[in-house]
Amino acid sequence: MRCSRCNAENPADAKFCLECGSPLTLAETATPRQPEWASAEAERRQLTCLFCDLVNSVGLSERLDPEELRETLAAYHRVCATVVRRFEGHIHDYLGDGIMVYFGFPSAHEDDAQRAVRSGLGIVEAVEQLNSRLQSEYGIDLHVRIGIDTGLVVAGALAADEGMEATAAVGVTPNIAARLQALAAPDSVVISAAAYRLIAGYFDCRELGFHTIRGISQPMAIYHVLHESGARTRLDVAARRGLPPMQGRDDELATLADRWAQARAGRGGVTLMAGEPGIGKSRLIWALERHVAQSPDAFLVHMSCSPYFMNTAFYPVVQQLERVLEFGTDDTVEQRLDKMDGLLAQYGFDLPTVVPLLARLLAVARPADAADRTRATDSATSGPQLPPGVRASLARRPWARAAESQPPRP
């Protein structure tokens, strides 16, 4: 079944497109149509291109039987497509073992450069996880190089013979992305200076200096993306440089401070702050956090929703718990379980009861691990419960929780 929006092929029983998420109808099964953007007039766009390529694919073809190589490449393409879909990128083409992905066409987001970099880091991680299966089945490991560039292109349909479809982004940006991946070390993401300007502060990067790119007249500055910096919003990035005093929000800030005073006096409540984008809601919450932090007995929790995790249940809660437990990206399952045991034991929780519940929420323990470490009954994990220790802790001191969400994008 072909999607009428993005022209991607889907299983016959699919109800939604696996590429763009659009609903699929019976009419699309009988009469495939080109997506609207494929026949629309070409337009200038700012586009972020990601090019991902396998390292030493020729060596793989020598070691594996052709059928095994085909299955390996198919598994590699699937994990890459899963990551790209999560960040709403568009896979333009599979070039053998290379993948060209567009962020900004056919659909655009204000943070397409960030989405591209997160996709690149996610692909590296997903391929590392895939290697455990490939190692056991074929005795091989896959490694990828990723290059990312941002720039102006002309995107839309190209002239083609009747019955053929050809859509592309014409410009130097896709070529630079493909050239940059050749400069990357295995399992790393390299970006151009243009892309770096759009993601600076959100990711920690290492400058690699100026390099000559084949086909480009002038040397280009490139950067190696290390990991996310922890900054979640533009306000977090700006706060590192120092924020100017807030103007014209004295009444609103006084109202929030009054609500906090009521909470400290034992009259808790919920305050909803809503308004159009850009009027300073996040800035007000940031100012409230600074005010609350002045109370020595305060317990402040900041939770933020993310458009990247719309399908992840309780994502803000999970994110907060991972920060409290100080989970590292390289932690093993055993290390994470040890951190959970240590924190829970410190506050007097009953480990056989609470560990399975928390491990299930954080997706940490494999079933065998949970069974070995605890012998809790099914009733202990049948539903989320607030342990008595948590209730007692919250009752002993005032606390504030700042939660932010973004409306769904049209």
The pLDDT assigned to 232 comes to: 76
Do both 50 and 95 map to the same domain? yes
What's the farthest any 2 CA atoms get from each other in the chain?
Answer: 75
- The answer on 44 and 27 residing in a single domain is no
Q: Which range is least confidently modeled, 22-26, 337-341, 360-364?
A: 22-26
Q: Are residues 5 and 53 in the same domain?
A: no
* Percentage of residues in the chain having pLDDT higher than 90: 28
In this structure, is residue 144 part of a structural domain?
yes
Are 47 and 65 members of one domain?
yes
In whole angstroms, give the CA distance from residue 124 to residue 121: 5
With H, G, I as helix, E, B as strand and everything else as coil, classify residue 71. helix
pLDDT in tens, 226-282: 998 877 777 778 777 777 777 888 888 889 889 888 888 888 888 888 888 778 888
Q: Is residue 118 part of a domain?
A: yes
pLDDT of residue 188: 95
Confidence of residue 7 (pLDDT cuts 50, 70, 90): low
Q: Tell me what pLDDT residue 206 has.
A: 94
CB 87 within 8 A of CB 20: no
Is residue 292 within 8 A of residue 298, CB to CB? The reply is yes
Residue pair 191/200 in contact by the 8 Å Cβ criterion: no
Residue 291 resides in a domain = yes
Contact 410, 308 (CB under 8 A): no
Q: What is the pLDDT of residue 214?
A: 87
Q: Which pLDDT score, from 0 to 100, does residue 375 have?
A: 40
pLDDT at 224: 96
Domain endpoint, select from 230, 263, 289: 230
The answer to whether residues 28 and 48 belong to one domain is: no
- List the single range of 88-92, 128-132, 169-173, 299-303 with lowest mean pLDDT: 299-303
Q: Are residues 139 and 255 in the same domain?
A: no
Number of domains composing the chain: 3
Say yes or no to pLDDT of 379 above 50. no
Q: What pLDDT does residue 117 have?
A: 96
The proportion of the chain whose per-residue pLDDT surpasses 70, expressed as a percent, equals 78
Residue 201 sits in the same domain as residue 340? no
Q: Is the entire prediction scored with pTM above 0.75?
A: no
Q: Are residues 100 and 163 in the same domain?
A: yes
Does residue 180 surpass a pLDDT of 70? yes
Instruction: Please indicate, yes or no, whether residues 18 and 49 belong to a single structural domain of this protein.
Output: no
For 15-71, write each residue's pLDDT tens digit: 667 666 666 654 343 333 445 445 457 889 899 999 999 998 888 888 889 899 899
- C-beta atoms surrounding 143 within 10 Å: 15
Average pLDDT over residues 307-318: 79
CATH of the domain at 103: 3.30.70.1230
Least confident residue range of 18-22, 207-211, 227-231, 362-366: 18-22
Residue where one domain finishes, among candidates 196, 230, 264: 230
Query: Which amino acid would we find at residue 62?
Result: E
Q: Identify the pLDDT of residue 282.
A: 82
In this prediction, residue 24 carries a pLDDT of: 67
Q: How confident is the model at residue 303 (pLDDT cuts 50, 70, 90)?
A: confident
Q: How far apart are CA 330 and CA 52, in angstroms?
A: 23
Residue 151 pLDDT > 70, yes or no?
Answer: yes
* Range of lowest pLDDT (65-79, 89-103, 142-156, 361-375): 361-375
Question: b or e along 17-54 (b: 16 or more beta carbons within 10 Å of the residue's beta carbon)?
Answer: bbbbeeebeeebeeeeeebebbeeebeebbbbbbbbbb
Q: Do 226 and 126 reside in the same domain of the chain? A: yes
Asked if residue 270 and residue 125 are part of one domain, the reply reads no
Residue 283 has pLDDT above 50, yes or no: yes
The boundaries of the domain holding residue 162 are 40-230
Query: Does residue 8 share a domain with residue 48?
Result: no
pLDDT of residue 177: 94
Q: Which residue has the higher pLDDT, 304 or 216?
A: 216
